[in-house]
Structure 1
């Protein structure tokens, strides 16, 4: 399953960044990428996300994205092995709520992850130490 998650997510590469979108080839944000991969693997989404603004995470202290991940994905223990297909949840700065998602595509010395990033669209990026330090939690698709 994990390799299938990576293969499906790579099918989204080049999709432009569009806030709140989740349409392969047309537009996606980071949540839209995860939602799209879910649909391709499982079918219907388990819940529809509410509308959200680009600055939604700066407007309150509720861990909305973490809560949704806990409801629908399987948490990976902190001491468990890193593996392709794991969903990564990031906190973009200390003290802020978690607000970015990606999918681990490669592990090891040249670890990489897939994510939709403002002004870049869906890309595969190196999981550099600065990115790794922002990871709050890891999950697997059910």
Structure 2
């Protein structure tokens, strides 16, 4: 299956999570998930099992740890980060809230300049990838091909 077809499948699966309530550390469609849980749930539907299960984490884990755990995990499972200019639907997006702090939000690029993410205190939604989101992108990663 080509990268493009894989990307379409990623978007379809991610859109199936829209409306799932936000639940810290959750990863179940229709039950609850956070941004990492959305990625974990999409990965399970695409590949059958998660490549690793994260240890429990607090909402402020990135600030306290000071490590780029999210970027490192994305690189372990999706390969080296890509230039933002190559972003296409189905890509994994990692966001950094501000300079000098670890990246701690994730989403999936969707067609039409949009992305799918778990929005804290709400649900999984599809949002426009407006400039204020785009400039926070810390990494773009492509899901592995589905065979």
TM-score when scaled to structure 2?
Answer: 0.91
* Structure 2 match to 1:87: 92
Q: 2:127 aligns with which of 117, 125, 132?
A: 125
Q: CA deviation at 1:45?
A: 0.7
State the distance in 2 between where 1:33 and 1:21 align: 8
State the distance in 1 between where 2:68 and 2:121 align: 25
Please list every run of at least 4 consecutive aligned residues from structure 1 whose deviation after the TM superposition is greater than 6 angstroms: none
Aligned 8 A contact 2:22 2:33 in 1: yes
Q: 1:48 aligns with which of 50, 53, 71?
A: 53
Tell me, which stretches of 5 or more residues in structure 1 are unaligned? Answer: none
Q: As a proportion of its length, which structure holds more helix?
A: 2
For 1:1-142, list aligned pairs within 5 A.
Answer: 1-78=6-83, 81-107=86-112, 111-142=113-144
Tell me, which stretches of 5 or more residues in structure 2 are unaligned? Answer: 1-5
Q: CA deviation at 1:79?
A: 6.2
TM-score when scaled to structure 1?
Answer: 0.94
Aligned residue for 1:75, secondary structure, equals coil
Q: As a proportion of its length, which structure holds more strand?
A: 1
